[in-house]
Amino acid sequence: MKIINVKSVYGELRKNIPEIYRMVSRIRSGEITAFTPPSAFVGEYNYPKIRVGVLISPENNSMIHDSPKYWVAQNYDVSKIFSLRSTIVNANKAVRVDDIHNPIAEKISFSILSKDEIDVNMKVASVNSPAPNFSEFKPNAVNATLDRLDINDNFKIDKPVEKVYYDKDLKATEGIRFLYGNSIDENKISKMLSLGTMGVKRKLVPTKWSITAVDQSIGQEYIDRIKMYERGDDYFVIKGSFLGNVFTIVFMKGCWSYELIETWNRDGTNVMMGHGDHEFYEGRKNYVENTAGAYYAIRLAVLEKLEQLKKQYAVLVIREITPEYYAPLGVWVTREGSRKALKSEPAKFNALNDTLAFTKRQLLFPQGLEYRSTLIKSYKNQTRLTDLGY
């Protein structure tokens, strides 16, 4: 679901125009020294020849531009995060996805292994001033064509990251799960996958794809384990909000199944009741059609909660997007937002009807919930009794 308020996005960009054009002026000098969080962005347009870029700031302390967990801890609002993301530069070059030994791509790939911010020298050929594509707002406002990149710092690499990078016989899925199990941030893992720094047959992967691949891979490992736990025999509801996203999460007795449905209220009056996606005990065979990367990101947060409980449930998540979330900031919002929500105290029930009645009282837009939810209809119609644990 596209969550964009064009007028508000332009307004936010205008607030940052002085800083953005200061960066443009500096970068147009051609030869520059800059800092990367470290971070990179791999596009998907014109696949398999795509643009791979290093995200840089002319100033040090660049890590603040790409630190979702820090933003959460500091309670940054949408405007603050948008400002940080729009005042970072994507210095990029067109590369084929299988050309990971391209000199620039290779240096960008190596740079994102760093534990900390690193210092780089670069030469750029051209700079494009802000011209956001509102069909899918990218996490930067300024793009530059990269001619040369040199890494200045002797930087540190976490041991798990180093192991995965040098182990050419380790499959990408195994590498993802190993890094996650060693407390490496998903943000870091997705960049490693995107830049072709793990796996047997390594290649560049568009950032959008790598984020979902990481969430999906870690989630599947959880699912395999959670299916071995006893089935929950009660009901409870947890609610929380983050950056204008309201998450109402319903745990229903039975074995593992999951559904995400979304409601988008962009301007306070126009409400769009989006279609959801779901999976039953046997899982999905195809990529979701309606909720995209949010489906797998929120699922990961839910599975982490079930792992903590050491039980399996049927879980329904209702995500309601309010006018406060007027610009998309990335899939990380749904992952961290649902994680934050799941730390709230649950409201517990003994019966499904009581659970649903309470749930609808919590929703901003409860209309048609039982019709929209495949999971609830399965309960009501009792068509999948085995899967739902009756």
Instruction: Give the pLDDT of residue 386.
Output: 46
Q: Which CATH number fits domain 230-388: 2.130.10, 3.30.230, 1.10.287, 2.60.120?
A: 3.30.230
pLDDT at 4: 55
Other CB atoms closer than 10 Å to residue 329's CB: what's the count?
Answer: 19
User: Mind listing the pLDDT tens digit for each residue in 176-214?
Assistant: 999 999 999 999 999 999 999 999 999 999 999 999 999
- Give the list of residues 6+ apart from residue 261 with CB closer than 8 angstroms, or none: 274, 275, 276, 291, 316, 317, 318, 319, 372, 373
Indicate the domain borders of the chain: 6-151, 159-226, 230-388
81-115 pLDDT per residue, tens? 988 988 888 999 999 999 999 999 999 999 999 99
- DSSP string for residues in 316-362: EEEEEE-TT--S---THHHHHHHHHHTTSPPEEESSHHHHHHHHHHH
CA distance 334 to 75: 15
What are the residue ranges of helices labelled H in the chain?
6-15, 17-27, 68-73, 78-86, 103-111, 159-166, 172-181, 186-194, 207-226, 292-309, 332-341, 352-362, 369-372, 374-381, 385-388
Q: What pLDDT band is residue 7 in, cutting at 50, 70 and 90?
A: low
For range 318-328, the mean pLDDT:
90
pLDDT at 251 over 50: yes
